Amino acid sequence: MSQTAPRPDGPHGGPGAVGRGSARPTLEEVAALAGVGRGTVSRVINGSPRVSDKARQAVQSAIAELGYVPNRAARTLVTSRTDSIALVVPEAETRLFSEPYFSDIISGVSAELAETDMQLLLILVRNQRERERLSAYLTAQRVDGVLLVSVHQDDPLPSLLESLEIPSVLAGRRSDLEPLSYVHADNAGGARMAVRHLLRRGCTRVATLTGPLDMEVAQARLGGYRRALEEAGRPYDEGLVGLADFTEDGGRLAMRELLERRPDLDGVFCASDVMAAGAMQVLRAAGRRVPDDVAVIGFDDSIVARHTDPPMTSVRQPIEEMGRTMARLLLDEITERGRARRQVVLATELVVRESA
């Protein structure tokens, strides 16, 4: 590692001789070239206002000339800021997500981070062992903040984050008492909108397929269903509620039971698109036409919704916007530590197609 030799070849190095091993310039070299001290260069880089214009100029052109990029490790070592945040995804969830969910969240987060020089670390947790490793990891303060995509009420991760006092933002919430910052869609509102649409369409016996009720999302959607009925003066009938789990198979199963219990139902609000897709298959197999005999609405407006037959009416949530917002909240929380937690609810919207 003899980097003693002054490197005569700046960024202008031969066109062929690409910058292979060429040592990266250090802050010290920038200082020397600019004719100032290390401190001043550091101040310029970190945007301190206490620098004369002249010095700033000199430093900036030295930086440009050398192609200087600060060494992250060195900075982290002294500041113990890592300038990186982790997106933590329990892998079990991955399977559940309406398909573009995951990439849309990432896309939003990444878009928001693009202007920053924060790095995005992706951590999938697939089992207990990895969960423990993650705890150790987080405890070792290796990230400045955490985005957690998780919604189960008994998930231990949020509490861990809470107790470690690491800035964090959840996608979704555990309950309406959630103490951590979170961003979520207006699930209740979306469900309510969907059910009102069914009622307005003339449905009189509207059923619902729910997600697993240990998730707040599922509860909220069920709540919206109930609310819409009540607002319309209809009774809430438990016989019309099919407990399922967001999956296609679960949807099929629950739909079959529902159909047996209430053969006269004429509308179904499903808490996920894939459940709705499963339900539509079951309905067709039972000889019901969609939407003529039974109208169906899904939730997520995922790619599946556009491809069922008939195309599915569904509640859209602004997933990418959720990602963006999560990132923004997290950055805020990191810079102004100790500030109150923030919670954001984003509007949902009903995308009407042919199934209802």
Residues of the shown chain interacting with DNA in the complex, contacts defined by CB under 7 A: 1, 3, 9, 12, 14, 23-24, 26-28, 35-40, 42-43, 45-46, 49-52, 54-55, 68, 70-71, 74-75, 77-79
Q: Which does 304 bind (CB under 5 to 8 A by kind): a second copy, DNA, none?
A: a second copy
Residue 14, binding choice from a second copy, DNA, none, Cβ under 5 to 8 Å by partner class: DNA
> Could you say which of 33, 106, 148, 294 contacts a second copy (CB under 8 A)?
106
Q: List beta partners, residue 207.
A: 268
From candidates 35, 38, 92, 114, binder to a second copy by CB under 8 A: 114
Least distance from a second copy to the Cβ atom of residue 201, Å: 23
Q: Which of residues 193-222 bind a second copy (CB under 8 A)?
A: none
Residue 267 burial (CB < 10 Å; 0-12/13-18/19+)?
Answer: buried
Q: Which of 131, 115, 151, 78 is nearest to 322 (CA)?
A: 151
Told to check if 135 binds a second copy by CB under 8 A, we report no
Q: Which two tokens stand for residue 273?
A: 């698109």
Residues 39-68 touching a second copy, rule: CB under 8 A, are 43-50, 60, 63-64, 67-68
Q: Rule CB under 8 A: is residue 130 a binding residue for a second copy?
A: yes
> Which residues from 141-170 bind a second copy, rule CB under 8 A?
141-142, 163-165
| Smaller CB separation from DNA, 74 or 285 | 74
Work out how close the CB of 166 gets to a second copy at its nearest, in angstroms, rounded to a whole number.
Answer: 8
Q: Which residues, 320 to 349, sit near a second copy by CB under 8 A? A: 337
Give the sign of the dihedral formed by CA 53, CA 58, CA 64, CA 66.
Answer: negative
Q: Which residues contact 253 (CB under 8 A, 6 or more apart)?
A: 244
Residue 175 binds a second copy, judged by CB under 8 A: no
Rg (CA), the chain: 27
Which x/- pattern over 76-95 shows residues binding a second copy (rule: CB under 8 A)?
xx-xx-x-x--x---x--x-
Which does residue 165 touch among DNA, a second copy, none (CB within 5 to 8 A, set by kind)?
a second copy
Residue type, 79: T
Residue 126 binds to a second copy (criterion: CB under 8 A): yes
DSSP states of 264-324: T--EEEESSHHHHHHHHHHHHHTT--TTTTSEEEEEE--HHHHHSSSPPEEEE--HHHHHH
Distance, in Å, from the CA atom of 248 to the CA atom of 208, rounded to the nearest integer, reads: 14
Q: How many binding residues for a second copy (CB under 8 A)?
A: 81
Q: Which two tokens stand for residue 101?
A: 């969910």
Residue 120 neighbours by CB distance under 10 Å:
17
